[in-house]
Amino acid sequence: MDAPIAIRDWGRCDYETVWAAMRRFTDTRDADTTDELWRVEHPAVFTLGQAGRHEHVLDRGDIPLVQTDRGGQVTYHGPGQVILYPLLDLRRRRLGARALVTRLEQTVVDWLASRGITAAPRADAPGVYVDDAKIAALGLRVRHGCSYHGLAVNIAMDLSPFQRINPCGYAGMAVTDLASLGVDCSLTNAGEALTDQLLARLSAG
């Protein structure tokens, strides 16, 4: 369904502030509320999904750990990562959670292909991978038929914190970013291009 989506840029903002705002938006919206897509970059933080297991956090060190309400296990957010949070009325769009995950994954696959990189999702672990290395992570929450949380794509970041966790619950999982693959792209350009790709995917129904 080609319903309008408002784009909101948060810039760099701490995780808990944005998470609280997502919950508030979702809990106070009604059938006429315009869907929104939030674009943000977080300072360094580990987040643990609703059913996440603390043993997957190997060495938190001085990085904050937030127990959140999305699906999935543990992941890392930090500078140099594009994060897109689709706050959508899934009932209005006639979308299920799995269909939204597929659109998010394909958004990243299509965008990476435009940069000359072959990537694909995996059936056993949500996200997008280049060979065996994860370049994008996904985690959603659906409440009252509406989605929040979303997609994180590694552009040009310090990847070492991923070695201090089992990414998404997988011990030893390799993680990469666009810069490590030899592609130079600013965070702003990446965010805008990923936004355009996702909007096109959502409009296609």
Feature table: binding site: 70-77, 137-139, 150-152
Phi, psi angles (nearest 5°) of residue 68: -115, -175
Which parts are annotated binding residues for substrate? 70-77, 137-139, 150-152
Q: Is-contact 57 48, C-beta < 8 A?
A: yes
Q: Is-contact 87 190, C-beta < 8 A?
A: no
> H or E stretch including 81?
strand 81-87
Residue 73 CA to residue 139 CA, distance in Å, equals 9
Catalytic-residue membership of 185: no
Phi, psi angles (nearest 5°) of residue 107: -55, -45
Residue 168 CA to residue 175 CA, distance in Å, equals 11
Residue 204 CA to residue 202 CA, distance in Å, equals 5
Q: Report CA Rg, the chain.
A: 16
What tokens appear for 147 in the block?
């989605």
User: Quick one: residue 131, left, alpha or beta (phi over 0 = left, psi -120 to 50 = alpha)?
Assistant: left
Q: Determine which one of 13, 146, 168, 185 is catalytic.
A: 168
| Active-site residue list | 168
